[in-house]
Amino acid sequence: MPDEVSRDLVDGALELADAARQANIRYALIGGLATGYRTRSRFTRDMDFLLHVPQLALPSFLEELARREFKFDPLTAIREWTQQHMTVLTYRGARVDWLKPVIALYAHVLERATDERWLGRPIRIATAEGLILTKLLAGRTQDWVDIENLVAAHRHQLDLDWIRSEWSAIESLDDPRMARLMELVGKS
């Protein structure tokens, strides 16, 4: 495992993946950690997940995570998850961001995530296309660096039709972010 990735981050992602699998909760690792898995490792301080946790399953899922060294205030996590559709936990001091797939694009990224193995353990990770879409939405400087790396690593394998289709459901294909992505793809 590259030095840039904290072992605690990977361990936390794998622990959450194990707990989600045992509870039959759909999830996908997204963000910088997932991008590092799909391209080349990069420094990141947190782990990001899309999760579809039924409200009735949330308390027991949180209890299981607490047994696995995740830290959070249960009442705050439940309130944020149900009202704001996101919450933050920590694992050995590392931030763990949860995002509920409330828009169709996120639900589709979650559905298309693939089963992978990291350090010999199973984990679901968003596809390169899914990561590109989530990063297009965020549009921060680091997101564009990640998009460039994803395009470079998956050059001729990207499902551009699916990316365009998902994007057109939330933004115009004339949006400057999509134009910039297509320019990057054309250069690769």
For residue 5, the model assigns a pLDDT of 54
Record the pTM. Answer: 0.94
> What value does the mean pLDDT take over residues 13-31?
97
Confirm whether 33 is domain-assigned: yes
- H-state helical runs in the chain: 7-22, 31-38, 58-67, 74-83, 104-112, 128-138, 141-153, 160-168, 176-187
Confirm whether 1 is domain-assigned: no
Confirm whether 26 is domain-assigned: yes
| Domain, as residue range, for 154 | 7-187
> What value does the mean pLDDT take over residues 56-79?
97
Q: What is the CATH number of the domain that holds 149?
A: 3.30.460
Phi, psi of 174 (to 5 degrees): -85, -5
Query: Pairing mode, if any, of strands 70-71 and 86-91?
Result: antiparallel
Q: Which residue has the tokens 């509920």?
A: 100
- Mind listing the pLDDT tens digit for each residue in 149-178? 999 999 889 999 999 999 999 999 999 999
- Mind listing the pLDDT tens digit for each residue in 123-134? 999 999 999 999
The total number of structural domains in the chain stands at 1
Confirm whether 2 is domain-assigned: no
- Under DSSP, is residue 127 helix (H, G, I), strand (E, B) or coil? coil
- Mind listing the pLDDT tens digit for each residue in 110-123? 999 999 999 999 99
